[in-house]
A and B are shown apart, each in its own frame.
Chain A
Amino acid sequence: MAKSLTYANWDTLTEGTEREFTMGPLTRTDFVRFVGANGDFNPNHHDEIYAIRSGFDKIFAPGMLQGGYLGRLVSEWVGPSALRTFRLRFSSQAWPGDIVICRARVVRRFQDGDKRRVEIEAEAINQNGDALIKAHAVASPQP
């Protein structure tokens, strides 16, 4: 059996605690592998000629790829069933060759009745520091 991950808990998820990883450089294969998994066959994500005719320089990543990276960052940190809400706001596109830096930070801890909650802000940026996605999560961490 594969070794299980150890998740952060209420005590370790103090305000200001951060976590990050870097993905990429993104390849066209990364895009195709992902759209094969989720079924998003918008040609702008796999058909270079179509994307150019649509006014883009080349194909670009489906936003849910970088969005999924941020989901991974948060779920592997606090535990996947600790997540209560997760929101992604797409700012700009990611292109083949881009590096995607994913960062998350605990911004608030609070009690909701008898439930302990942490609020996390996350973002994905590229190698130039441009925002690709801003994300927000509320989680109920293990004690």
Chain B
Amino acid sequence: MREPSALPWEEKMKKILLATGLVALMGTSAMAQQIGVSIARFDDNGLTVMRNGMTSHADTLDGVSLQVEDATDDVAKQLDQINNFVASGVDAIIVNAVDTNATEAMTAAAASAGVPLVYVNRQPINMDTLPDGQAFVASNEIESGTLKAFEVCKNLRAAGKSGGATAYILMGQLSNQAAVQRTKDVEDVLGMDMCNFITVIDKQTAEWSRDKAQDLMTNWLSSGEPFDAVFANNDEMAIGAIQALKANGISMDAVQVGGVDATADALQAMKAGDLDVTVFQDLAGQGSGSIDTALKLINGEAVDKTVFIPFKLVTPDNVDEFIAN
């Protein structure tokens, strides 16, 4: 079953018509807020969740209208869109940058016209020099690995293993920033007094892949080393590890397995009692958070340069909430 959705252009036309209507009304209704939004690409799964978070949040707000444009992964097109927003006199602009190295020009265009600008999801290169009236809304990547590792640590303590426990770390592609960060987060947590009873036996890359994780876990199992936990940089590798553990007759109650992403597959694995911990990146929350931040900037309220939308911890206790969504 494919996701039912209106055609993108249809949606866009509606928004544009609505927007022009609202611009015409501007003189009469001083309350109406017009926000121009440029999204890197409409066909990206994660960004679509974020975009839907924006539009559904704007629908609940009185007098806020969005004009959402698809930059189709084209840097030049995105800058044109921003200049068009400025020219048509929007109250604020939200940008999900195509290329985070190309944000200087966007910042300059919005700042010179005095239009508030909010970057969302992707951190602009000029983060340190953002002028007043501009901000960045995203999740703090450090949280994902930290939340997961800390929960696993707590579970191991609760299982009475605080006298000493061992773990493996499954890493993503080593060239990927998220893989490096998430691994470091786990190691940082295991360096804390409360969790330093856990020693890492080995860490290796399985390149985000379920298949590679399955084989790597089986290789580790062939050494016969006892262990208590597996930290995976993403859910796919966590599921691969689980499949290998089960194939080798290891009880899933005896081992804590933690992942990141809260994918549909992972939530079902948790429901089945195999996966213990995962972490959900609240992309819809980033979308609605960017609208709220833009509105604050329009009203001249003080806003932090970086607005963090928290990751959410998913455990068997609250997994049903996430499956329902």
> Are these two chains actual partners, yes or no?
no
Q: Which residue numbers of A lie inside 8 Å of B, CB to CB?
A: none
